Amino acid sequence: MRKKLLAMAAVTLLSVATVAGCTNTQDYNIEVPEDLNVEIQGVIDDFQNVLNTEDDPAAEEEDDQMKADNVAALIDAIYVQERTDETDAQCKAAKEAWDALTDAQKELVEGEDADPDYFGRDTGDASLDDPRNADEIGENEILVVSFGTSFNDSRAKDIKGIEDALAKAYPDWSVRRAFTAQIIINHVQARDEEKIDNVEQALDRAVANGVKNLVVQPTHLMHGAEYDELMEALEKYEDKIDSIKVAEPLLGEVGKDATIINADKKAVAIAVADAAAKEAGFESIGAAKEAGYALVLMGHGTSHAAKISYSQMQTQMNELGYDNVFIGTVEGEPEETACENVIEAVSEAGYKLVILRPLMVVAGDHANNDMAGEDEDSWLSMFEASAKFDTIDTQISGLGRIEEIQKLYIEHTKEVLK
C-alpha cells in the first residue's frame, strides 16, 4: 500500500512539474518555479520527506515508540492523588493522544504507572453509573464517600447499588457521591468522560447549595486510614455547614483485640458467606462445606491499628460455625492473613476445592488483578502454584451489590438521623 501511494504521488508531482515547465526530477530534487502554488509546494515537500524515510523501518519504530511514550507520560501525569487547575485539560489531552495511536502503538505504551490497559481494558458500560454530582441539593444531603473504582461494572453494581438503596430509603434527602482516590477520579474522567467529585469538591458543592444538614456515610470497610483522612477533611467545614454527622463504616467499631466482634461484623459475615455459596450453586455455606469447598475472602489489609478487624472477622466466621471460611488480605497485615499463610491454613484443614472472593465493597483492581489476575503473584496463581488444590474458582463480586449489606448501610445512616 505504501509503495502504491508513493507511486501515485510521484505521477502527480511529475504532472504538476511538467505543466509548470519543470521536468528536472533527477535524484528527487524537484525544481519549483517561484510562482508555483504554495499548496503544491507543500505536497512536494511532504513527498520528498517520505522519500527520504521510505526504506527506514528503524525510523518508523522510533516514531511509534516516541508517540507511545508521549501517551505514557500524559497518563503518568494524571496518575496522582492531587487535583490541580490543569487536571481537566490533562485528562482530555491524555485520551486524545491515546485515540490518535494505532493499535500497534497502543501496545507500546509503558510508563511508571501507564500501560495499555489504562485506556484499553474493557471494564463495562460507564453509562450505567451515576456520578451524583448535580446541584439543587436542598438543605438535607447524604454524602456517600467511597474510595472508588475505575471498573465500570463494579462501580455501577457496588457503589451505585449502595447509593441507590440509600436514596430509596431516605427520599427526603439528596444523595450525592464523593471518592477519596483522585487517581481513580482522573482515570474515569479521562477514559469515560464521567466527572466524579472528590471529597473537597463535594463539600464545596454542599456549601454552595446551602446544605444545612449533612450526613456522611462512608462505604469504607472499617475505621482505617481512609476514614481518618475523611474526618480531617470534614473538620474544615464545621463552620460552613450547620450540622455534619458521620455514620459508621461497614464493620462498625473496631474493638481492642481479635476476640471483639459486634452485630455489624456478624451481619457482614452471614451476608457474604451466603452470597458466595449461592453464586457457587449451593444453598448455604454449610452445603458448600459438605461438598468440600473452602471460601477464601481476600480483603485489602492495612498497617493501621484497624487491621485487627480482619482477625475479628475470622473470629466471627468461626463463632458462626463457618470453619470453611478463611480471611486473607492483599497486604498481608495482619500477618496470618498473608496469602502463603492462608494457603497453608486451607490445606491443613483438608480442603481441595477453593473459592476466592473479595472481602471488599467493590470488585475493582484488587479483585480483578491481585486476586484473579494472570500474574504469578496473584492469589489465583499462588494457589495454583502450591499444587495443594484440585480446583480454584474465583468470584468477582463486591460487597456493595449484596442487598443485606446495603441494608446495613441504611441502618448506619438511620442511627445518625435520629
Choice among 46-60, 160-174, 243-257, 333-347 with the minimum mean pLDDT: 46-60
Q: How far apart are CA 179 and CA 416, in angstroms?
A: 21
Mean pLDDT of 154-163: 98
| pLDDT of res. 66 | 97
Q: How far apart are CA 142 and CA 44, in angstroms?
A: 65
Other CB atoms within a 10 A radius of the CB of residue 246 amount to: 18
pLDDT, averaged across the chain: 90
Q: What would the pLDDT profile of 228-239 be if each residue is shown by its tens digit?
A: 999 999 999 999
Q: Is the pLDDT of residue 326 over 80?
A: yes
Q: Which residue has the higher pLDDT, 15 or 109?
A: 109
Strand partners, 215: 142, 245
Counting residues of the chain whose pLDDT is more than 90, the rounded percentage is: 80
Looking at 246-357, list the stretches that DSSP marks H as alpha helix, in order from N- to C-terminal side: 263-279, 285-290, 308-319, 339-348
| pLDDT of res. 352 | 98
Q: What would the pLDDT profile of 38-86 be if each residue is shown by its tens digit?
A: 555 665 565 555 555 555 777 888 999 999 999 999 999 999 999 999 9
Phi, psi for residue 30 in degrees, rounded to 5? -80, 125
Residue carrying C-alpha cell 480442603: 351
Provide DSSP, 46-105: HHHHHHHHTT-HHHHHHHHHHHHHHHHHHHHHH-SS---TTHHHHHHHHHHHHHTS-HHH
Other CB atoms within a 10 A radius of the CB of residue 177 amount to: 23
Element (H, E) at 262: none
Q: What would the pLDDT profile of 341-394 be if each residue is shown by its tens digit?
A: 999 999 999 999 999 999 999 999 999 999 999 999 999 999 999 999 999 999
Element (H, E) at 165: helix 160-169
Contacts of 63 (CB under 8 A, 6+ apart): none
Whether omega before 218 lies within 30 degrees of 0, making that bond cis, reads no
Counting residues of the chain whose pLDDT is more than 70, the rounded percentage is: 87
User: What does the angle CA 79 – CA 83 – CA 85 come to, to the nearest 5 degrees?
Assistant: 120
Q: Is the pLDDT of residue 15 over 90?
A: no
CATH 3.40.50.1400 in the chain, residues? Answer: 126-252+405-417, 263-400
Q: How confident is the model at residue 251 (pLDDT cuts 50, 70, 90)?
A: very high
| pLDDT of res. 380 | 98
Q: How far apart are CA 379 and CA 201, in angstroms?
A: 36
| pLDDT of res. 261 | 84
How many Å from the N-terminal Cα to the C-terminal Cα in the chain? 73
Whether omega before 334 lies within 30 degrees of 0, making that bond cis, reads yes
Q: How far apart are CA 395 and CA 373, in angstroms?
A: 12
Architecture of the domain delimited by 126-252+405-417: 3-Layer(aba) Sandwich (3.40)
The residue type found at 10 is: A
* Edge-to-edge strand ranges of the sheet holding 174-179: 174-179, 140-146, 213-218, 243-246
CB 212 within 8 A of CB 198: no
Other CB atoms within a 10 A radius of the CB of residue 208 amount to: 10
Element (H, E) at 106: helix 103-106
Please state which of the four CATH numbers 3.80.10.10, 3.30.499.10, 3.40.50.1400, 3.40.50.2300 is assigned to the domain occupying 263-400: 3.40.50.1400
Query: Within 13 Å of residue 342, how many CA atoms lie on the same side as its CB?
Result: 31
Q: How confident is the model at residue 35 (pLDDT cuts 50, 70, 90)?
A: low
| pLDDT of res. 27 | 47
pTM, 2 dp: 0.85
| pLDDT of res. 267 | 97
Q: How confident is the model at residue 328 (pLDDT cuts 50, 70, 90)?
A: very high
Q: Is the pLDDT of residue 37 over 70?
A: no
Q: How confident is the model at residue 303 (pLDDT cuts 50, 70, 90)?
A: confident
